[in-house]
Structure 1
Amino acid sequence: MVNKSQKLKDQDFGFTCSFVLGAVQTPVEKDYYNQALNVLVNSFLRKTHFINPQGDKVIMKQRVLLKEDYDIFHFWNLSQRLGIKVKIGKFSPYFPHGRHLHLYGDMIELATGSRKMPSSVCSADCGPGFRRFWKEGMSVCCFVCSPCPENEISNETNMDQCVNCPYYQYANIEHNKCIQKDVTFLSYEDQMGMVLALIAFCFSAFTTVVLWVFVKHHDTPIVRANNRLLSYVLLMSLMFCFLCSFFFIGHPNKATCVLQQITFGIVFTVAVSTILAKTITVVLAFKVTDPGRRLRNFLLSGAPNYIIPICSLIQCILCAIWLAVSPPFVDIDAHSEHGHIIIVCNKGSVSVFYCVLGYLACLALGSFTVAFFAKNLPDTFNEAKFLTFSMLVFCSVWVTFLPVYHSTKGKVMVAVEIFSILASSAGMLGCIFVPKIYIILIRPDINSIQKVRKK
């Protein structure tokens, strides 16, 4: 039993124990502070001597091995002549290592008369939004506060670890609360989506007008010179190229995700293969001079027109493989834009997607090569030069598309793909048909049989 005859007053000892325990907030801290108090009590007991109730003098030498249990008491002074001795803890060498001292915190009253444990004066508390950690060489009651990393929070005081926010939430600026992310996609209400939809509608309407002009003036030399049927097929395929952009705008679902990629691959294959057929027709028309040659029969039979269904069939097979292996599906992008969950269409099998683009690129390169060699052939309405420029624009757009597409994310990635579709389609429409529309509507004097016979 420890009494007032000791050199260290019990109130000072109680205050010291209470002070150390005041910093205890978590089980980890309690272990640290129990170890500290264990050292303190050992030092206190070994330097103390007193008379036990049997009248024996007890001297606690520093090197004497402790084998006894000790109760720790504290005197509560209720008045000048009245006090109560209260057991506030126990010290035993038989307790687990580092936990020899056990104090009853709710029974300790400080010298100030309050039972509230004081906080540590070594380090201030780490509030919400921060985590604490210990550096090497620091005392057990000292720590450092560090802000939570990105998208992690701490909503309590003196947390050792920050907590990650779920993928559908993000951390606020103070990093003490997770906030629900906004679901977004490239919609018609979005300014970027609205502009792209308006451009696609205007180009498709202009293509319809061009088709109507060609049908109305189908007997004029400039329309007949380069195979009217192929011109009609090319104009309709370009119109569908513009319209397929609408599959990329709006809330994605399983149907639109499949249609936007399949439609894009097929209609562009029809357009490019039509240009290839028109280019081959121009070349054969100048190479065939002998009426008895087989090439003349090949040209008159309309065999070049079969290039379109053959090339389109190959692309359809690739698209069917795409759908069978791993079709496009609806996916979410929770990392591209802070505070937003973007609903996008995942390509599914990326390898098949690039096979579709690669096949389309081969057709475009073949059309450009044939048209380039035929661009200087003499003729009144030779469109090989215009076909060459159209394929040059087409190839330039899609070569630029790949690096830009992979360097963007979220809605911008979808917008880049729509812009590439519109730009390449507009390039073919402008290079091939705008000069002809100019002659049909503005210079009808050039578009006459007499003028052609003179040339």
Structure 2
Amino acid sequence: MEVALPSVSREEPWVLGGITVIQCATAATPVWNINSTQSWISNLWTGMHVQLALIKEPFGNKIVKNITNVRKMQYSYSYLIILINMLKILSYFSSVNFREYQLAQTMIFAIEEINNRTDILPGVTLGYKIYDTCASVTFSVQSAMALMNGYEEMLTDTSCSRPAAVKAIIGESGSTNTIAIAASVGLFQIPVISHFATCACLSDRKEYPTFFRTIPSDYYQSRALAQLVKHFGWTWVGAVRSDSDYGNNGMATFVEAAKQEGICIEYSVKFHRTEPEKLLKVVQIIKRGTAKVVVAFLAFVEMSNLLEQLTVQNITGLQLIGTEAWITGTNLATPSSYRILGGSIGFAVTGAKINGLKDDVKDFWEAAFQCSVTKETSSNYKTPCTGSESLTELKNQYTDESEIRITNNVYKAVYAVAYSLHSQLECMPQKGCAKNLQTEPWQVLDALKKVNFTLRTGERVFFDGNGDPAAKYEVVNWQLGPNGAVEFKAVGYYDATLPPGQQFVMSPVDMAWAGGQKQKPTSVCSESCPSGTRKAVRRGKPVCCYDCVPCAEGEISNKTDSNDCIPCDLEYWSNEKRDRCVLKTVEFLSFEEVMGIVLVIFSLFGTCLTVLVAVVFLAHKNTPIVRANNSELSFLLLFSLTLCFLCSLTFIGRPSQWSCMLRHTAFGVTFVLCISCVLGKTIVVLMAFRATLPGSNVMKWFGPPQQRLTVLAFTLIQVLICVLWLTLSPPFPNKNMKYYKDKVILECDVGSAVGFWAVLGYIGLLSLMCFVLAFLARKLPDNFNEAKFITFSMLIFCAVWITFIPAYVSSPGKFTVAVEIFAILASSYGLLFFIFTPKCYIILLKPEFNSKKNLMSKMPNKSL
């Protein structure tokens, strides 16, 4: 107790009070003198512990009158003696906590205001007693025990009879000491109402069943802080807290809420006011950190200590986010500290102007400086105040009306007790309260749970099921005023009673930022990832530290800071920037591209060449070489070759349902017709040779009618296979996406693989038969024997289609169609050239050989 603690703290456990019923016979008389008012001020201890007494008239009139009179005596010696008696001021205490003194004076003011009202507790007067807990948990518990056990002996000759315990306790200011008091008196059903203990742990009704408070729980403030940080886009913040119940519990809730909002904590450190070495380590961590925003969940004293070290080490440019403990602390808000704390943002409890409280400031001013503020004759001081006193001699929180935010909570706490007693004593307007009705603490406790009233300021007061009030905060911003003084400008609000999404609102006003910047600072571990990329968290780092990785092919991200890339639909592909899905390029063998044009030229050229050969044959149809091997089969073969050349055109162009069915069936039927004609000509050669043998009668079994019937039979078999194929599982256009990721291959799916390979197999079977028969007839002696040319043509035909199979299977996309067209054209050209070129050569260039004699002559065959 001999050590003077630092200036006022949000968490300093100072003010405590109790209420009981006292019946006194005489008034208190002065028993202590003070040499001067100024010496009293300098020796007033930093904290007070207030005990309220309920006094029933008529016995307490003189005591209340004495209290009322001293309020009007402008802090005369008699007033100070009474206050000293009730405040337990000890001469060796050397520090004045003006904030706590103001809270005590507000309590006294509220009590006297209630005593002077006729609508609340008529006929009943409230008294008070103040205890100094010296920021000690031990002293707090001792004071609470004293309140529960009864009053100490007063330093007067007053004789009082009273019950053994108080009806309610008001206090303390700090969470740690309040926790100790609430836990101690809870078993005795004595209500405890705190005006400044914000720890969310006190909302636990199982642990603290009798606790109430008139300041919102940090449960809401911590979450509001997270929403504030998220609102400004700060995802990388530092955190520093007081090593106390207030700081540890509040920060734990903030960290949890920050994670839900996607905010990362670079560091979370703590220190206590009694740990200077730890404070230095904390400052070094802040200095080395990369976060430009620091959430300071600190009590007033710890914030003062931190500010001092930040100033010494010249650490500027940090955007401080504060709590109600220090964000409106006028002792901190000086022009010199603005260099460090300028632009700070935080939550402050809402306040209201208490009518008449300003007169108390005037009374204290006149007593402190021995001067008169007004020219009223009622003033005890004749020397007028100049106004310079506030600038040089007495600038403190007691004289600052901005502290009305906190004093209003004390004001509400006193009125809550008063209204609870009012309901318990069955007070009625014009009739007073019940004379013989005794109240017990548990009755006051039940009444506090139901209390619901509106102050003259218009503020509604009530408690929820946890003993907490409605959570309402103002968002304040440190700004420099026109006169260079620091101002706490309201820039928004937080109201937990509103629906989600409407609770936190920022006003469209200009704000000040750290370091005098005009633009909002940026505090991120990694810059935002642009569209087309995704965030990849670095190993061992928080989720806010990431690398921007480009989306893979076929995936996009169309917004910044995407966690994942979205795959495009099957028919879509990502663009170059990977921020949009575009339709895939549809690929098929078209008439417009070079490869399609070349194939069309070869197809039409083959068709024209075949027609030209047919014209030549038609012009020389009566010549021996044309008539030698059944001219009907030759013309039919030329017709089928023309169809083979033309059917290749059906493979070019955009596939459709009809084109897919047409291309495969036309190809299958025309080629079978062509091979059937060649096979017929081969059989004719063999039969003709056999007919020259003595006694042979073969040709009558394989004359022109039988040849036509053979071609028709072989062709009908292929037609039947195609009909079954088209009926059971026809070819259809298909979008093939297997070969290319960024392309759609529009192709004709064969439908039934069995049908497709049956068509090819049948063509292959006929080709093999034709090749074998032609090979057997290749050395027949007559010149009209064309078997060797058929052999060459079928050799080319088979070679083409044998190589076609692996090429067809392995070629991707439109190249598959190109391979199939190439096979058709190559085999067609092979048949045309090897079968008809020799005949055309004789007809056009060697007409002398176009005679029956020449054709019937036998020549040794040296080839093949």
- The verdict on how the C-alpha distance between 1:206 and 1:405 changes in structure 2, with shifts beyond 3 A counting, is same
- The verdict on how the C-alpha distance between 1:328 and 1:384 changes in structure 2, with shifts beyond 3 A counting, is same
Question: Cα distance, 1:390 vs. partner?
Answer: 0.7
Deviations 1:97-144 (A, max 9, x none): xxxxxx958489643467976444421221111111224412232012
Matched, 1:254 2:483: no
Question: Cα distance, 1:244 vs. partner?
Answer: 0.9
What is the alpha-carbon distance in structure 2 between the residues aligned to residue 362 and residue 29 of structure 1? 78
Aligned to 1:122: 525
Question: Cα distance, 1:404 vs. partner?
Answer: 1.9
What is the alpha-carbon distance in structure 1 between the residues aligned to residue 543 and residue 742 of structure 2? 39
Aligned to 1:84: 488
What is the alpha-carbon distance in structure 2 between the residues aligned to residue 293 and residue 330 of structure 1? 55
- The verdict on how the C-alpha distance between 1:274 and 1:453 changes in structure 2, with shifts beyond 3 A counting, is closer
What is the alpha-carbon distance in structure 2 between the residues aligned to residue 296 and residue 44 of structure 1? 115
- The verdict on how the C-alpha distance between 1:409 and 1:426 changes in structure 2, with shifts beyond 3 A counting, is same
Give the letter aligned to residue 407 of structure 1.
S
What is the alpha-carbon distance in structure 2 between the residues aligned to residue 424 and residue 376 of structure 1? 24
Aligned to 2:826: 423
Counterpart among 201, 210, 222 of residue 604 in structure 2? 201
Bigger mean CA deviation after superposition, 275-284 or 39-48: 39-48
Matched, 1:398 2:768: no
Question: Cα distance, 1:321 vs. partner?
Answer: 1.0
Aligned to 1:11: none
Aligned to 2:422: none
Question: Cα distance, 1:30 vs. partner?
Answer: 5.3
- The verdict on how the C-alpha distance between 1:437 and 1:22 changes in structure 2, with shifts beyond 3 A counting, is same
Question: Cα distance, 1:335 vs. partner?
Answer: 6.5
Give the letter aligned to residue 83 of structure 1.
E
What is the alpha-carbon distance in structure 1 between the residues aligned to residue 851 and residue 659 of structure 2? 47
What is the alpha-carbon distance in structure 2 between the residues aligned to residue 454 and residue 378 of structure 1? 8
- The verdict on how the C-alpha distance between 1:434 and 1:307 changes in structure 2, with shifts beyond 3 A counting, is same
Matched, 1:31 2:260: yes
Aligned to 1:348: 751
What is the alpha-carbon distance in structure 1 between the residues aligned to residue 264 and residue 559 of structure 2? 25
- The verdict on how the C-alpha distance between 1:5 and 1:344 changes in structure 2, with shifts beyond 3 A counting, is same
- The verdict on how the C-alpha distance between 1:164 and 1:117 changes in structure 2, with shifts beyond 3 A counting, is farther
Aligned to 1:218: 621
Aligned to 1:58: none
Kept in 1: contact 2:568–2:574 (CA 8 A) = yes
What is the alpha-carbon distance in structure 2 between the residues aligned to residue 434 and residue 296 of structure 1? 27
Deviations 1:261-295 (A, max 9, x none): 11110000011122122212222222345564453
- The verdict on how the C-alpha distance between 1:41 and 1:263 changes in structure 2, with shifts beyond 3 A counting, is farther
Q: Give the 5 Å matches for 1:178-197.
A: 178-181=581-584, 183=586, 185-197=588-600
Question: Cα distance, 1:302 vs. partner?
Answer: 4.6
Give the letter aligned to residue 749 of structure 2.
N
Structure 2's unaligned 5+ residue stretches are 1-6, 12-224, 237-256, 272-294, 302-324, 327-405, 411-466, 497-502, 859-864
Bigger mean CA deviation after superposition, 340-349 or 71-80: 71-80
Kept in 2: contact 1:126–1:157 (CA 8 A) = yes
Kept in 2: contact 1:327–1:348 (CA 8 A) = yes
Aligned to 2:846: 443
Kept in 1: contact 2:783–2:856 (CA 8 A) = no
Give the letter aligned to residue 848 of structure 2.
D
Give the letter aligned to residue 488 of structure 2.
I
Aligned to 1:165: 568
Give the letter aligned to residue 589 of structure 2.
L
Question: Cα distance, 1:181 vs. partner?
Answer: 4.6
SS of the residue corresponding to residue 358 of structure 1 reads helix
Kept in 2: contact 1:131–1:148 (CA 8 A) = yes
What is the alpha-carbon distance in structure 1 between the residues aligned to residue 642 and residue 699 of structure 2? 32
What is the alpha-carbon distance in structure 2 between the residues aligned to residue 131 and residue 117 of structure 1? 25
Question: Cα distance, 1:234 vs. partner?
Answer: 0.9
Kept in 2: contact 1:21–1:33 (CA 8 A) = no
Kept in 2: contact 1:19–1:118 (CA 8 A) = no
SS of the residue corresponding to residue 549 of structure 2 reads strand
Bigger mean CA deviation after superposition, 344-353 or 176-185: 176-185
Aligned to 2:233: 22
- The verdict on how the C-alpha distance between 1:386 and 1:372 changes in structure 2, with shifts beyond 3 A counting, is same
Question: Cα distance, 1:310 vs. partner?
Answer: 1.5
What is the alpha-carbon distance in structure 2 between the residues aligned to residue 88 and residue 230 of structure 1? 99
Deviations 1:326-384 (A, max 9, x none): 21223334675676555433322222111111111111111111211221122112111
Q: Give the 5 Å matches for 1:61-140.
A: 76-79=478-481, 80-81=484-485, 83-84=487-488, 106=506, 110-112=513-515, 118-140=521-543
Aligned to 1:10: none
Kept in 1: contact 2:793–2:830 (CA 8 A) = yes
Give the letter aligned to residue 127 of structure 1.
P
SS of the residue corresponding to residue 295 of structure 1 reads coil
What is the alpha-carbon distance in structure 1 between the residues aligned to residue 840 and residue 741 of structure 2? 48
- Structure label with greater radius of gyration: 2
Bigger mean CA deviation after superposition, 412-421 or 197-206: 412-421
- The verdict on how the C-alpha distance between 1:398 and 1:453 changes in structure 2, with shifts beyond 3 A counting, is closer
- The verdict on how the C-alpha distance between 1:328 and 1:116 changes in structure 2, with shifts beyond 3 A counting, is farther
- The verdict on how the C-alpha distance between 1:212 and 1:24 changes in structure 2, with shifts beyond 3 A counting, is same
Q: Give the 5 Å matches for 1:295-444.
A: 295-300=698-703, 302-333=705-736, 341-444=744-847
Kept in 2: contact 1:405–1:417 (CA 8 A) = yes
Aligned to 1:100: none
What is the alpha-carbon distance in structure 1 between the residues aligned to residue 703 and residue 560 of structure 2? 87
What is the alpha-carbon distance in structure 1 between the residues aligned to residue 505 and residue 544 of structure 2? 18
Give the letter aligned to residue 317 of structure 1.
L
- The verdict on how the C-alpha distance between 1:171 and 1:322 changes in structure 2, with shifts beyond 3 A counting, is same
SS of the residue corresponding to residue 445 of structure 1 reads helix
What is the alpha-carbon distance in structure 2 between the residues aligned to residue 421 and residue 338 of structure 1? 30
- The verdict on how the C-alpha distance between 1:323 and 1:85 changes in structure 2, with shifts beyond 3 A counting, is same
Give the letter aligned to residue 351 of structure 1.
V
What is the alpha-carbon distance in structure 1 between the residues aligned to residue 661 and residue 702 of structure 2? 38
Larger relative helix fraction: 1
Bigger mean CA deviation after superposition, 348-357 or 407-416: 407-416
- The verdict on how the C-alpha distance between 1:157 and 1:35 changes in structure 2, with shifts beyond 3 A counting, is closer
Kept in 2: contact 1:244–1:263 (CA 8 A) = yes
What is the alpha-carbon distance in structure 1 between the residues aligned to residue 708 and residue 654 of structure 2? 39
What is the alpha-carbon distance in structure 1 between the residues aligned to residue 730 and residue 258 of structure 2? 55
Aligned to 2:95: none
Kept in 1: contact 2:685–2:785 (CA 8 A) = yes
What is the alpha-carbon distance in structure 2 between the residues aligned to residue 221 and residue 395 of structure 1? 30
Aligned to 2:578: 175
SS of the residue corresponding to residue 160 of structure 1 reads coil
What is the alpha-carbon distance in structure 1 between the residues aligned to residue 266 and residue 259 of structure 2? 10
Give the letter aligned to residue 713 of structure 2.
I
SS of the residue corresponding to residue 133 of structure 1 reads strand
What is the alpha-carbon distance in structure 1 between the residues aligned to residue 485 and residue 618 of structure 2? 120
Counterpart among 625, 632, 638 of residue 229 in structure 1? 632
RMSD: 4.1
> Percent of aligned positions with the same letter in both sequences?
38
Question: Cα distance, 1:20 vs. partner?
Answer: 11
What is the alpha-carbon distance in structure 2 between the residues aligned to residue 217 and residue 391 of structure 1? 26
Question: Cα distance, 1:450 vs. partner?
Answer: 3.3
Question: Cα distance, 1:40 vs. partner?
Answer: 6.3
What is the alpha-carbon distance in structure 1 between the residues aligned to residue 787 and residue 856 of structure 2? 21
Matched, 1:452 2:855: yes
Q: TM-score, normalised by structure 1?
A: 0.79
Greater relative contact order (CA < 8 Å, ≥ 6 in sequence): 1
What is the alpha-carbon distance in structure 2 between the residues aligned to residue 45 and residue 121 of structure 1? 20
